[in-house]
Amino acid sequence: MIITCIAIDDEPLALKQIQSYVDKTPFLENIGGFDHAISALQFVQENKVDLMFVDINLPDLSGLDFVKSLNNPPRIIFTTAYSEYALEGFKVDALDYLLKPISYSDFLKAANKAKNWFVAQALQNPNIKSNDEFLLIKSEHKIVRINLADIKYIEGMREYIRIHLLGQKPIMTLMSMKKMEESLPEKQFMRVHRSYLVNLSSITTIERMRIVFDDKVYIPVGDQYKEKFQEYLDKNFLV
């Protein structure tokens, strides 16, 4: 998961520090830095911003008033040199509060808190729409159409899944295997392992209860799935 970020701070060194912390954090992407809220306002209205690091003490328009002015604000992590503003920050549903001077370890804790929030939201609201012919998947800020016939198998990777396709690069999206399984037609796809869903029409070789694809990928059939998979074999394959 990549979280797009901007930072707003009227102190040049503080702004540079936050942006450098964003740049060194693998799951964050720095897409802008601003020294006052007015210039940030137009950017947020015209661009997709997931997370903002906002100094509370800004000229002209405070960080708190800036966030309150947004109809549908991104997630917020406030920064300030004054601890008494912490309660006010949480009143506008901020994810966290960083007290200056900010160490990278404190920054990373707040960033991980934000990542956990985005992961939880994505798992509750999976980025998928489907019918009997294709899926629409959100991947890397794009909506991708995937024809069901092109899917070889689907691999679970913790909170992500990787969709392996015929003649194409795999596509990754943030979703649980359970949600993906529920979105696929049962007659065409089968869960054969806690980490694998296979397109039954793509199976050409089975070796010792392992499904073999043409690129020498061996997918094991898990113990809890063997009975159902064997029933499928008995109905569809000549022995």
Mean pLDDT of 9-26: 95
pLDDT of residue 89: 53
Mean pLDDT of 214-220: 83
Strand partners, 160: 157, 174
Average pLDDT taken over every residue of the chain: 86
Give the model's confidence band at 88: pLDDT under 50 very low, under 70 low, under 90 confident, else very high: low
Contact 150, 166 (CB under 8 A): yes
Give the model's confidence band at 122: pLDDT under 50 very low, under 70 low, under 90 confident, else very high: low
* Contacts with 139 (C-beta within 8 Å, 6 or more apart), sequence order: 127, 171, 172, 173
Tally: H helices and E strands in the chain = 7, 16
Q: Is the pLDDT of residue 220 over 70?
A: yes
Phi first, then psi: what are they for 172, rounded to 5°? -110, 145
Domains and CATH numbers, the chain: 3-124 (3.40.50.2300), 129-236 (2.40.50.1020)
Mean pLDDT of 224-239: 83
Q: Is the pLDDT of residue 211 over 70?
A: yes
pLDDT of residue 127: 60
Mean pLDDT of 34-48: 88
Contact 37, 63 (CB under 8 A): yes
* Contacts with 184 (C-beta within 8 Å, 6 or more apart), sequence order: 130, 135, 148, 197
pLDDT of residue 215: 66
